[in-house]
Structure 1
């Protein structure tokens, strides 16, 4: 199966603010979800918004056919902490692979859940603490 060449990117119809918002969404998607980020971004936004965001919508934003809606970056900020912790957990698991998966502690042994960080600074501090323990 041969792939069609990608259509040239035309952002000329977007304002400077819309281009910046588009760039923020692209950067977030790549960092949070890796190379196949568009479908994951659509799924995440669907959960956050409570309405379906189709992958085609995300493609239209990225190609510049439609501007990224104004509230999208703010909505992504609400999930960035959760995603950053999930990535840190995956990185930690990968670091110790192929060692056996540790057993889950019993309810009696389980430590009380930590309160999640609320600011970016707290997130960075928590991640740096976890990395230092590696």
Structure 2
């Protein structure tokens, strides 16, 4: 079972003709990371998080340019983006574990132990 976020209200116009194959792959990776880690309206959140990791200001407008293909993702931001991806994955794993702990059914032995403490 997968929970997909709704599509953005407005799709960006995309022209990748000015990008190399490597730049297109990095762009795809940025989009994938942004959507998976931050949801359908990911660009501002991604820019803020990348700014923190990169130690320099990244704006939503810059991210939008990368997505549209009007500018490539700068080479200097590849490593910070990779670090952000690892941090985002760790955060998602932590949050998933918290949800499981709160919502997973208790094992039968745990149920008995809980009942014994109530008696």
Structure with bigger RCO (C-alpha 8 Å, 6+ apart): 2
5+ long unaligned stretches in structure 2: 1-8, 105-119
- Relative to its length, the structure with more helix (as a share) is 2
Q: Deviations over 1:9-43 (max 9, x none)?
A: 11111121211111111112122222222111101
Give the aligned length. 97
Given that 2:50 and 2:84 are in contact with CA atoms closer than 8 Å, whether structure 1 keeps it comes out as no
Q: Counterpart in 1 of 2:107?
A: none
On the 8 A contact 1:42/1:53 being kept in 2, the answer is yes
Note if contact 2:54-2:77 (Cα within 8 Å) is conserved in structure 1: no
The higher radius of gyration belongs to 2
Superposition TM-score, scaled by structure 1 size:
0.61
The 4+ residue runs of structure 1 with deviation greater than 6 A are none
Note the aligned Cα RMSD (angstroms): 2.4
Residue 21 of structure 2 corresponds to residue 21 of structure 1: no
Question: Can you give the 5+ residue segments of structure 1 that lack an aligned partner in the other structure?
Answer: 100-134
